[in-house]
Structure formats: structure tokens, C-alpha cells
Structure 1
Amino acid sequence: MVIMMHQMRAETAPAAGDPDSVVSWHIVRNADLTALCGKELSPAAPVQDATRWTLDPDHNCHTCGALYLRETPYLPGEHTG
């Protein structure tokens, strides 16, 4: 069984490096520079752990999110209320 490791990588506006320059967060596999949606991202773009995907959904790529959910296991303990 192959276990994929994912991380979030930012798509940034021209003012790269400025936290406010994040246009959208994408999901990449294993620190790749190509997002799951196919967008090429900068190696200098901010990254964060994929577990932060739910914290600011308005700034996340919908396509990456859908594909990410297909590649990650469903853990019932994470969805209790």
C-alpha cells in the first residue's frame, strides 16, 4: 500500500512572501510543485500542513479539495461533534 503525504502550497500574487499575497491554497503530493488541480506553483510559495485545509475554506482550491478527499482516508474520529 502506498501512503501519500500531502501539504498545502500557496498560489501567490506578485508580492510573493507577503502573507496577504496568498490568492488560494492548493494541495500537492510529497512537496511537489504541481497542485492536484494541475496548477504549477512557485518553489518559494508558503507551505503548510494539509490538516489545516478546513481552517479557511474560502481560500482553498475546490478542485484540489475534491481530489485530496479521494486520496486521504476517512477517519471517523475527526468528524465527531
Structure 2
Amino acid sequence: MMHQMRAETDPTGATDSVVSWHIVRNADLTALCGRELEAAAPLQDATRWTVDPDHNCHTCGALFLRETPYLPDEHDEQAG
């Protein structure tokens, strides 16, 4: 499954004003949290989720983590 980040823009619909980033499946207009987003809203790759966490939807983030495969190579433990 492909995930992307889609912006929630301000109520006026200005696409250059990102209020929050949400996660969508494929190119859906409905975020994982259920919020309906605009087709013209900016998109970015889901790997950017950690870039500005204060502007991300917490609910989308939690659901995204449940749908994202665990990659052991990303979590190497170093022997102490």
C-alpha cells in the first residue's frame, strides 16, 4: 500500500497555507483520521512525516504506524 502526506489547508482553501499534514492511502482525499481533504491540496512523500512533527495529525500518525511494515534494519541495537 502506498501512503502519501496530503495537506489540510486553511478554511479559505488557499493551497499555500498548510494547517496540518495528514496521511492518505494511495491518492485518496480522505485521510486515515477521516478528514476530507481538497484535491488541490499539496502532497508529499510519507517519508517526510518526521520533518515537522508539530504540523502533523496525531491520529493519522498513529494509524500510519500500524499500517507501515516494521523494518528491522532501521532499528539496529548496538551491543553495550
TM-score class, shorter-chain normalisation, is 0.7 to 0.9
Q: How many residues align?
A: 76
Residue identity opposite 2:5 in structure 1: M
Q: TM-score, length-normalised on structure 1?
A: 0.86
Cα distance in 2 for partners of 1:66, 1:41 equals 19
Does residue 1:27 correspond to 2:23, yes or no? yes
Distance 2:15 2:36 in 1: 17
- Any stretches of 5+ residues in structure 1 without a counterpart? none
**TM-score, normalised to structure 2's length?**
0.87
- Distance in 2, matches of 1:22 and 1:44, equals 12
2:41 aligned residue (45, 58, 72)? 45
The reply on whether 1:70 has 2:66 as its aligned counterpart is yes
Following the alignment from structure 1 to structure 2, what is the Cα–Cα distance between the partners of residues 57 and 76?
Answer: 23
What percent identity do the matched residue pairs reach? 83
Letter in 2 for 1:52: R
